[in-house]
């Protein structure tokens, strides 16, 4: 994966679309002072660089009743269980991120669930029943202040 050079116009396009993926290209064009077609051409090139992965509509999990965010450090009986455990975690929709990290944990995950009861059920029934999982450590997020992408 090669890195890339962006000029001011590219950055402006990206910043606009990162904030709102449906920003009309013409309004970006007006802002930076070039034609809409030029924005379109640059965007196509940027898409080819793989810098742009896609665009997602962002949901508010709270409206669906998912009010609890937690991080769970999972201790594995042996590191060799990593792959099979991940496979099982894929099937748990509440698991929204998984990482193989340095440190004590075999797997480190982020989960979203409806409430503490739901969290307990998830930990006891879904996660700790996965073959290879020895024990877990849970950090419940009581407040999230920062949530953003990398600055360009």
Partner DNA sequence: GTTGAAACCGCGAAGCC
Partner DNA sequence: GGCTTCGCGGTTTCAAC
Interface with its own copies by CB under 8 A: which residues? 1-4, 14, 17-22, 49-66, 69, 71, 86, 89-90, 93-103, 105, 108-109, 112, 137-152
Q: What is the contact mask toward DNA in residues 26 to 65, using x (rule: CB under 7 A)?
A: xx-----xxxxxx-xxxxxx--------------------
What tokens does 31 get? 């802002």
Q: Minimal CA–CA distance to 55: which of 65, 47, 63, 45?
A: 47
Q: What is the contact mask toward DNA in residues 77 to 116, using x (rule: CB under 7 A)?
A: ----------------------------------------
Calpha distance 46→4 (Å, rounded) = 10
- The full length of the chain comes to 152
At closest approach, how far in Å is the CB of 85 from its own copies? 10
Calpha distance 118→112 (Å, rounded) = 10
Number of residues counted as binding DNA (CB under 7 A): 17
The full DSSP string for 30-47 is: HHHTS-HHHHHHHHHHHH
Residues in contact with DNA by the rule CB under 7 A: 9, 24-27, 33-38, 40-45
């Amino acid at each position: 994966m090669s890195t890339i050079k962006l000029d001011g116009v590219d950055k402006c396009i990206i910043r606009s679309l990162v904030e709102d993926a449906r920003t009309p290209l013409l309004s970006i064009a007006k802002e930076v002072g070039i034609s809409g077609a030029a924005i379109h051409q640059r965007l196509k090139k940027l898409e080819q660089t793989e810098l742009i992965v896609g665009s997602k509509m962002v949901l508010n999990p709270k409206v669906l009743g998912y009010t609890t965010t937690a991080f769970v450090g999972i201790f594995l009986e042996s590191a060799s269980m990593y792959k099979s455990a991940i496979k099982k975690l894929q099937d748990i929709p509440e698991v929204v991120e998984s990482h193989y990290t340095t440190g004590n944990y075999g797997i480190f995950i982020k989960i979203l669930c409806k409430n503490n009861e739901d969290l307990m059920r998830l930990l006891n029934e879904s996660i700790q029943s996965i073959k290879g999982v020895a024990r877990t450590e849970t950090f419940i997020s009581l407040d999230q202040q920062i949530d953003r992408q990398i600055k360009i």
